[in-house]
Amino acid sequence: MALRDILIAPHAKLKTKAAPVEAVDDELRRLMDDMLETMYAAPGIGLAAPQVGVMQRLIVLDVAGKDGPPAPMCLVNPEIVARGEDTVVAEEGCLSLPEIYAEVERHARVFVRFTDREGEVREMDTDGLLARCVQHELDHLDGVLFVDHLSALKRKMLLRKLAKLQREKERQTA
């Protein structure tokens, strides 16, 4: 397993739609393992392949938290096949937008179809943090960041803040 670099916005790959995975093979399972290791190290609760520069429709998640045993999930070609009517607003972060947080409105419940690590097609009914994380990661596969759900003014403000934080970080490490 290996840690991969996480792309930071603005990066063209984070604004690009990813292509469907054609085969679940050992190479893809290696990528899944690298992504899980990278996600746990960050630390984060999800990661999409475009965030590590791989333009394929693959996401990994673990919303179990530190109180329970790890519950890693790998979803290949995930798609939302049904959405509940209710929406919920909660704060989100993103490993590609470090230190930037905002409240985002999402569907409270989504039904997801995906292919698993063994190549089997599965379905999952999600709510709570898992539903939020699945929607956030699926957005990454379509080149959408959580700030794209905000007003243009708020998005501009947050992206300016990110650019300033990144400049400061570069100055400190130079």
Q: Does 57 bind ligand K1U (CB under 6 A)?
A: no
Residue 137: active-site member: yes
How many CA within 13 A on the CB side of residue 30?
Answer: 6
Q: Which does 34 bind (CB under 5 to 8 A by kind): ligand K1U, Zn ion, none?
A: none
Output phi, psi for 34, to 5 deg. Answer: -60, -40
10 Å CB burial of residue 170 (0-12, 13-18, 19+) is exposed
Q: Which of 137, 141, 149, 158 is in the footprint of ligand K1U by CB under 6 A?
A: 137
Q: Does 60 bind Zn ion (CB under 5 A)?
A: no
10 Å CB burial of residue 2 (0-12, 13-18, 19+) is exposed
Q: Which of 12, 23, 27, 43 is in the footprint of ligand K1U by CB under 6 A?
A: 43
Q: Which does 78 bind (CB under 5 to 8 A by kind): ligand K1U, Zn ion, none?
A: none
Helix, strand, coil shares of the chain, percent, nearest 5, are 35, 25, 35
Size of the site for ligand K1U (CB under 6 A): 16
Q: Does 132 bind ligand K1U (CB under 6 A)?
A: yes
Q: Which of 100, 136, 158, 162 is in the footprint of ligand K1U by CB under 6 A?
A: 136
**Which residue type occupies 1?**
M
- Identify which of residues 21 and 138 has a Cβ nearer to Zn ion in the complex: 138
Q: Which does 158 bind (CB under 5 to 8 A by kind): ligand K1U, Zn ion, none?
A: none
Q: Does 44 bind ligand K1U (CB under 6 A)?
A: yes
SS3 152: helix
Q: Does 95 bind ligand K1U (CB under 6 A)?
A: yes
Cβ 60 vs Cβ 39: under 8 Å:
yes
